[in-house]
Amino acid sequence: MKLRSLIIFNPLIDLEEEVLDSKKIGILGSIWIALLFSLIIPVVVQFVLLIACAIAGSSLSSYDGITSITYASKSEYLYLISSIFTLMATIFVMCKFFTIKTNLAFPEKKFNKSDILGIICLILGFRLLFCGSLNHIVNLIPLPKSIEDAFNNIFQNPIIGLITAIIIAPIQEEFVNRGIILNGLAKKYSSKVALIVSSLIFAAMHMNIPQGINAFLLGLILGYIYLKTKSIFLSMMCHSINNMLAFMPDIDSLSNMYLLVSISIVVIILGAVLFKIGLKRLDLKNKQIYFDLLRKHNAYDDELNINM
């Protein structure tokens, strides 16, 4: 099945092919988009779904509206349905108000099988580096109870939790954070400023410090890849791989301090090696040069200044 046959994917394909592009966005505009994405749209979607549950429940003799809302609000299935509708609503709103049509398609595919191996090495390296170093400090910071309860609710059904974390979240977050916010910021500011600001906003969207620290660092990596390639699919795959690897065993559970330090050092070294291999395979600087030449050859007006 071609992705184009599923209408929801058309904006993603258009962004990948550069038929669709982000408008120029300032810092305040980026914060507004983040609020829309992380608070306003999800709340509106969930409210509408709960009202629908109440109406459906009140039509049944065994339930009233309040009981239906209470039951639905505790269901992991409602969270999955809400996530899907939030994804659709987010893409619609972002395309409607924050993008423009370029009428100029990028002439080639932006990644190959070697690049996929590269991002696996890169993200695995990042996870190992983080696990062997900063993770020891981050684990000392407690998650807010509301966030912890939300995770427990999502993963009542592991399949629903995995679908949400590995498929829905990467698509939605990369479309907004890299495709719209970073892309738009890079049209107004230098690439470094755009990268740092978009990563800070990405971290703030998680609304807690432990995840925020990891999200900021991941945002720098994903943003750098996107600025060099402008491939939203590549950044989505990176994000999905990162979320899969987040379920790796935590070495902080080791009680022996000497063993913990020794394993941490090995993990950091292995992570650094894999990270370097990933960067080398992706060859981002040469990709940028080649892609810029293609855009110039096709009279493509690339407004991004991404020499870093």
| pLDDT at residue number 60 | 56
- What does the pLDDT read at residue 1? 45
Sign of CA dihedral 218, 219, 225, 228: negative
Q: What is the pLDDT of residue 191?
A: 94
Q: Could you report the per-residue pLDDT of 116-163, keeping only the tens digit for each?
A: 999 999 999 999 999 999 888 888 888 888 777 777 777 778 888 889
Mind listing the pLDDT tens digit for each residue in 166-194? 999 999 999 999 999 999 999 999 999 99
Provide the residue ranges of all domains of the chain, joining segments of one domain with +.
3-297
Q: Cα(31)–Cα(129) distance, rounded to whole angstroms? A: 30
The interaxial angle of helices 113-132 and 257-282, nearest 10 deg, is 150
Q: Residue 148: what pLDDT? A: 78
Pairwise CA distance, residues 291 & 106, whole Å: 9
pLDDT, the chain, mean: 87
Of 92-106, 177-191, 217-231, 251-265, the least confident? 251-265
Q: Under a CB-based contact definition with an 8 Å cutoff, are residues 215 and 47 in contact? A: no
For the ranges 141-145, 266-270, 272-276, the lowest mean pLDDT is seen at 141-145
Q: Residue 5 pLDDT more than 90?
A: no
The answer on pLDDT for 53 being more than 50 is yes
Model confidence at 305, in pLDDT bands (50, 70, 90)? very low
- Cβ neighbours of residue 253 under 8 Å, at least 6 residues apart? none
Residues forming a β-bridge with 21: 100
pLDDT of residue 59: 62
CA pseudo-torsion sign 82, 88, 91, 93: negative
Inform me whether the pLDDT recorded for 63 exceeds 60.
no
Predicted TM-score (pTM) of the model is 0.88
Q: Write the CA distances from 249 to 128, 138, 245, integer angstroms.
A: 11, 15, 9
Q: What is the mean pLDDT of residues 34-58?
A: 85
Does residue 50 or residue 115 have the better pLDDT? 115
Query: pLDDT at position 308, please?
Result: 42
At residue 42, does pLDDT exceed 60? yes
Report the residue count for the chain. Answer: 308
Confidence of residue 252 (pLDDT cuts 50, 70, 90): confident
Mean pLDDT value of segment 187-207: 95
Report the pLDDT value the prediction gives residue 6, as an integer from 0 to 100.
Answer: 62
List strand residue ranges (DSSP E) for 54-114, in order: 99-101
- Across 73-100, b (16+ Cβ under 10 Å) vs e yields eebbebbbbbbbbbbebbbebbbeebbe
Range of weakest confidence among 6-15, 67-76, 253-262: 67-76
pLDDT at residue 64 greater than cutoff 70: no
